[in-house]
Chain A
Amino acid sequence: MATTEVRVPAAAPRPRAQRILDWLTTTDHKKIGIMYLVNSFTFFAFGGAMAMLMRTQLLQPNDHLFTPAEYNQLFTMHGTIMIFMVIFPLLAGFGNYFVPLQIGALDMAFPRVNALSFWLLPAGGLVLLAGFAVKGGAAAAGWTNYVPLALQGEAGEDLWLLGLLIVGVSSLLGAINFIVTILRLRAPGMSVRRMPIFCWATLGTSLLVVLALPSFTANIVMMLADRHLGTTFFDPAQGGSVANYLNTFWFFGHPEVYILIMAAWGIISEIVPVFSGRPLFGYNGVVLALMLVIALSFSVWGHHMFTTGLVDNSFFTVTTELISVPTGVLFFNWLATMWGGKIRFEPPMLFALGFIAMFVIGGIDGVWMASPAMDYAIHDTYFVVSHIHYVLFGGTVFAVMAAMYYWFPKMTGRMLDRKLAYVHFWLMLIGFNVAFFPMHYLGLDGMPRRIAEYPANAGWTMLNILSSSGAYLIAVSMLVALANLVITLRRPRTAPADPWEGYTLEWATSSPPPPHNFDVLPPVHSERPVYDLRRAAVTEEVAGA
């Protein structure tokens, strides 16, 4: 197989303007993937800064660092930005870069649509943020944006709705693109049963987006119509109902949780086998579990409404408890993969272990909340805040960091510094637990979520101080990661094509890959084509000797 034809000679460095224009107009999935990541990490800094301000407000009782009006905007925008502008786009960014590589494709199925779905994202994000600049401030009805409260909002609320409409279009186009890419552009030999789990997870996420997001879009349309056209979808006095809002919102809102975590499961299912030196314990089991989660996720939304008296609590308990079964299966698969392996504690694996340890706590918290009677005691308290952060931070953010250390060499040709990575990991792990574990107690002790201040005699002060100091530690850990990034990017490109002894096709091409992805596409005979390749090389060597 000729491999020389497309090797471009090292060109003279082009002018800066030209390079910037290249990025702005690119349809290359790798560049778009990197832009997704840069955009999401930028918004991560915004959302994180808001979290720091909130934790500073709660550092002491009756603190008036912010007025309630300001604090309410902060937690609304923190949640909104983290969910819609950070976590999902981060996973989509890794998906953009690595799904085509992992299935041995040249690009996404619709490269121009791909560029469009990226550019809609910062546009939507800026519309969201613009809320802070208008009269009345940004939206302040919480990320769940419940009516009738949200109907009282001012211009910031409209910007919120508009921004999320734009972000929604971006996600939908991206999801369609992923599904078509994965179903149609796989390399010869790569049957679906040999597809990397990360691709399965991205496929699953995309299916969830396609089937759940439109309900939210409809919800936004109804909200805009109620606010501006005089319709009465959510007005009980005029034949509408609050239930119309809650049902259309949570029909999207719960699958959304899986949209935010499934690709993270995929990342962990890639990293754990590679650094354990073993194949994934139960490939079919994991795929089955993912599919079960997708199917069940559309039947659990009512568990967000246990205390509303609007849904059949028993039905939604059964479905909610059932969905924990496939999630459990994933854990056992990761553990069984490590069992009997030879684990290398490289930074990606460390974060993956952190993911398993933290995400299981978030999962167990869920067992309490899935039981309606118990939920009556802890719903809308800090227990929920703790749970969601154990899932989305202890879960997804740890997985995203794992992915960052895992794939950074592939994307940039440079290895991130190990020592700084270890510092980052331990600071983040400790900071995270110090910040969020006390919130369980605060919730059990009756501290409701989303309060701008609390009285001094409530007895919540110590735990809040603890929580805030943990939050600051997280911020420090992120600065360490940022420093690592900056330092590494100044170093020369030394990363080999396959620094981790990986299994999947992205490790079969150079680091970073050429614009056309592969010079040589290895044959695919199993779900670990690059492992097969390495084995074949060893066998040949032995035979030769």
Chain B
Amino acid sequence: MSAVERVMQAAEDQRGTRAISSSVMGMAIFVASEAIFFAAFFGVYASSFASESVWPPKQIPLPGLVIPTADVIVLVLSGLFLTGALATLRRGAERTTVLWLAAATAGALGFLALLLAGYAGVGFGIKDGIYASLFYVVTGLEVAHAVGGVVLFGTVFVRAANGELALRHDPVQAAALYWYFVIALGIVVFLIFYLGATL
């Protein structure tokens, strides 16, 4: 280690453990950009909603509510497991953390599976107007994000199971941040595409 690196390390130590790590900060910024990305679609949703007298337009059948509701519950559960993982991690109970992580990963998988299963109950195609366009593209992007989450959890889980948690916590924290975003997204999508359209 060069002299300069030692100085930098000292500065790092000085900032202490309260400072957030690079990966968590990077993920936070990424999530902010994701929020803007989806906001563009919700903006289109809002302006289309405002300009149509009947919503959804074209008298298309609404998607069923049963599977999506179950899906959101599973999603929120996965978030609770994740919160458990973060809490035990803070206490230093690394073994328990791995278990919580396993539960959260399972939850994420369940969410993804139900999300895909939900398409079976949709009675309109992607070409059926603006609501259908938004529905398929936004839920499609949600699926992509769920897949991303499952992959992220998978790698974090494997590394945690191999004992990485004793060295560093930030990969888990960063993955958790991402998943909290997916949960928020899932809830918003459920509210406006399923519940909101039904009202």
B133 and A106 within 8 A (CB): no
A187 and B40 within 8 A (CB): no
Minimum Cβ distance to chain B for residue A286 (Å): 24
**A497 interface residue, CB < 8 Å from B?**
no
Using A176-B26, A221-B137, A240-B133 as known contacts, say yes or no to A187 and B8 having CB atoms under 8 A apart: yes
Give every chain B residue within 8 A of A238 (Cβ-Cβ): 129-130
Give every chain B residue within 8 A of A176 (Cβ-Cβ): 26, 29-30, 33
Docked Cα-Cα span, A48 to B168, in Å, equals 49
Contact among A219, A232, A516 for B4, CB-based, below 8 A: A516
Docked Cα-Cα span, A1 to B2, in Å, equals 10
B126 and A230 within 8 A (CB): yes
Give every chain B residue within 8 A of A184 (Cβ-Cβ): 19, 22, 25
Give every chain A residue within 8 A of B48 (Cβ-Cβ): 239-241, 244
Q: What total of chain A residues lie within 8 Å of the partner, measured CB to CB?
A: 53
**A214 interface residue, CB < 8 Å from B?**
yes
Minimum Cβ distance to chain B for residue A273 (Å): 26
* Interfacial residues of chain B within 95-147, with CB under 8 A of chain A in the complex: 126-127, 129-134, 136-137, 141
Label chain B's interface by main secondary structure.
helix
B11 and A187 within 8 A (CB): yes
A5 and B43 within 8 A (CB): no
B34 and A214 within 8 A (CB): yes
Docked Cα-Cα span, A232 to B57, in Å, equals 12
* Per-residue interface assignment for chain A, residues 1 to 36, with 1 indicating a CB less than 8 Å from any chain B CB and 0 otherwise: 111011000000000000000000000000000000
Docked Cα-Cα span, A171 to B7, in Å, equals 31
Minimum Cβ distance to chain A for residue B172 (Å): 18
A244 and B36 within 8 A (CB): no
Minimum Cβ distance to chain A for residue B136 (Å): 7
A241 and B29 within 8 A (CB): no
B4 and A188 within 8 A (CB): no
A239 and B8 within 8 A (CB): no
Docked Cα-Cα span, A213 to B5, in Å, equals 35
**A109 interface residue, CB < 8 Å from B?**
yes
**A217 interface residue, CB < 8 Å from B?**
yes
Using A184-B19, A230-B126 as known contacts, say yes or no to A241 and B137 having CB atoms under 8 A apart: no
Chain A, residue nearest B37 (CB):
A214
Using A109-B22, A176-B30 as known contacts, say yes or no to A248 and B133 having CB atoms under 8 A apart: no
Among A256-264, A352-360, A452-460, A518-526, the stretch that binds chain B is A518-526
Q: Give 24 pairs: A residue, B residue, CB < 8 Å, sorted on A.
A: A3-B3, A109-B26, A180-B22, A180-B26, A180-B29, A184-B22, A187-B8, A210-B29, A214-B40, A221-B137, A230-B127, A232-B127, A232-B133, A233-B134, A239-B48, A239-B57, A239-B58, A239-B130, A247-B43, A248-B44, A518-B4, A519-B3, A519-B4, A520-B4
Which 7 pairs of residues, A with B, have the shortest CB-CB distance?
A: A239-B130, A218-B40, A231-B133, A214-B37, A230-B127, A214-B36, A188-B11
